[in-house]
Structure 1
Amino acid sequence: MRLALLVAAVLAPILLTGQASAQKLRPADVDKLPSRLPTLTASYGSDANQVGDLRLPDGLRFGKGPYPVVIVVHGGCWWKGYATRQNTAALASRLTELGFATWNIDYRQVGDVGGGWPGTFQDWSAATDHLRVLARSQPLDLGRVGVTGHSAGAHAAMWIAARRRLPAGSEVSSSDPLPIHAVVAIDGPPDPTSDLAAFEKGCGVPAVTSLFGGTPAEQPARYALGTPQALLPTGVRTGLVSASIFLSPASGQGYVAAATRAGDSAALLTLQGTGHFEVIAPGSPVWPQVEAFLAETLKVPR
């Protein structure tokens, strides 16, 4: 609670200075929000981008664990220089205050050596499965693992949740993927092909086609493997948050309908009159709705 109040105090002047609305947060504003120091920072590979921050809940409030875990994936159009795990540090910190251990990861993006297809996807897998290594020395409950991501990281989060559905032997499949029990995608695409032009316009770079190495017509096999909606049913409880920026309400509703038809549990939270970064900023006007949705969706009973 102390951190949440501090974040709100930091946000107040940003949201109010010269603005009639609260839709003006920039990535740099979110990067500067207060966050808890990680319990530890660990590498899951040899590249400098293959690293994550683990935060553990307060043992006095939540006991000694083992704790449910949430993997947190930042956005940034999958594009080098747009965002790092600092952009989701405040989000991860707040989830830790709610009793979740969080594993906030970086990964190779387009423009990094090895980024794009298939390296970016392989990093998401490696970071997820590295929780097994961390659990050898940290009080993590690998029977209660969720994942959340923002913007392009929302696509990553949903893909992490769905990757058990990948065919064996593909470039991006794993032999024993860590099971995921719940996922929340925050204002990002479950199907990058559905809003491809709008997403790339918003990014200002050819984000989708660069990630996959071509258009859907040019690389149909890659899109089939890298599109979470194409991998339904996932068997994972799913929540989507639409701020109408990089996940339109129509696309969110389309995913929920497809998931429900496939037998999955899925729900959509549609927010009005907000911006793309307010939805990951504890203390923003819409944050209470996002926090409640995250907490309910990611909660996994013992």
Structure 2
Amino acid sequence: MIVSKKIYYGKAPSQFGFLNLPQEKRDKYTTIVTIHGGFWQSFADLTQLQTLTNGLNQRGYAVWNIEYRRIGETGAGWPGTFNDVIDAINFLTELAHSWPIDKQSVIILGHSAGGHLALWAGLRYRNQALDHSDNIHRLSVKPRMVVSLAAVSILEDAWQRDTVLGKHSPVTDLMGGTPLNKNVDYQSASPFDLLPMQIPQILVQGLKDDYVPSGMTIKYAEKAEKLHDHIELILDPDADHFDLINPHTRVWQKTIVAMKETLKA
């Protein structure tokens, strides 16, 4: 029987996750931290990734499916939302005392806005640029890899795209302002501006995605590769935004194969 347990990593109502362990018994499981999307807004929650979590459990992975404070909740935004993600990942150290999870084999996986947070967390492990601020937490658990599923990897580009379309950008709400008046914070919060990561990354993008443009993912990948990051870029011509979190799609099969190969390397 698959174990699924709700556990709080903090005191706020949204500072919790579900630890999901496979039915197959092992001494320790490779553990995947999953971070859901929804453009950082409170209408979306971790149930977005429940089907994917079930699929990962069936493949023998433990999954720590995390929630975090989103726009509309007290303390959300920069840097609260970001610190929640770091705290949730660091909480694996505590979980390892009671559950059979392997802290030496952790994967961070995020979709859309969750992909942004996954990349940012991976970059936070080694990056020194944010250490000047006592308000930004540091990642203490080293990930084996980061898997980005249609990540919002360049915050300023996402804000600009919304602005050109005449839309209010959720990036403005996340950051508490625009790149025009919060430029330093944008640079601290945008994965593109914090490269290199020095951790293997799998970047997955559907070319029929209406939410996150493929050009953003390609631009991020090109910069990361120039800075000698190990990047595997998966571009699927038939996949849309949500095919990437459906464990029954072709693009997900490509993703899981890439993850297995990266773990072997």
* TM-score, length basis structure 2: 0.89
State yes or no: 1:140 paired with 2:140. no
Q: Is the 8 A contact 1:59 1:65 kept in 2?
A: no
State yes or no: 1:65 paired with 2:6. no
**Identical counterparts, % of pairs:** 30
User: Measured at CA, do residues 231 and 215 of structure 1 come closer, stay the same or move farther in structure 2, by a change above 3 Å?
Assistant: same
Q: Within 1, Cα distance between the matches of 2:199 and 2:233?
A: 14
Q: Is the 8 A contact 1:77 1:152 kept in 2?
A: yes
Q: Within 2, Cα distance between the matches of 1:179 and 1:106?
A: 20
CA shift for structure 1 position 300: 5.6
State yes or no: 1:183 paired with 2:146. yes
CA shift for structure 1 position 199: 5.6
Q: Is the 8 A contact 2:86 2:138 kept in 1?
A: no
The aligned amino acid for 1:236 is I
Q: Within 1, Cα distance between the matches of 2:232 and 2:213?
A: 14
Q: Is the 8 A contact 1:163 1:173 kept in 2?
A: no
Secondary structure, in 3 states, of the residue corresponding to 2:107?
strand
Question: What is the CA deviation profile of residues 199-234 of structure 1, one whole-angstrom value per residue up to 9, with x for unaligned ones?
Answer: 6799x6521111011111211111121111211111
Alignment counterpart, residue 207 of structure 1, candidates 150, 158, 170: 170
Q: CA RMSD in A?
A: 2.2
* TM-score, length basis structure 1: 0.79
State yes or no: 1:118 paired with 2:79. yes
- The higher radius of gyration belongs to 1
Alignment counterpart, residue 217 of structure 2, candidates 252, 274, 281: 252
CA shift for structure 1 position 177: 2.4
State yes or no: 1:278 paired with 2:243. yes
CA shift for structure 1 position 250: 2.4
Q: Within 2, Cα distance between the matches of 1:276 and 1:93?
A: 19
Q: Which has the higher contact order (CA 8 A, sep 6+)?
A: 1
Q: Is the 8 A contact 1:146 1:183 kept in 2?
A: yes
Unaligned runs of 5+ in 1: 1-35
- 1:20 corresponds to which residue? none
Q: Within 2, Cα distance between the matches of 1:174 and 1:207?
A: 23
User: Measured at CA, do residues 110 and 184 of structure 1 come closer, stay the same or move farther in structure 2, by a change above 3 Å?
Assistant: same
Secondary structure, in 3 states, of the residue corresponding to 2:71?
coil
CA shift for structure 1 position 77: 0.6
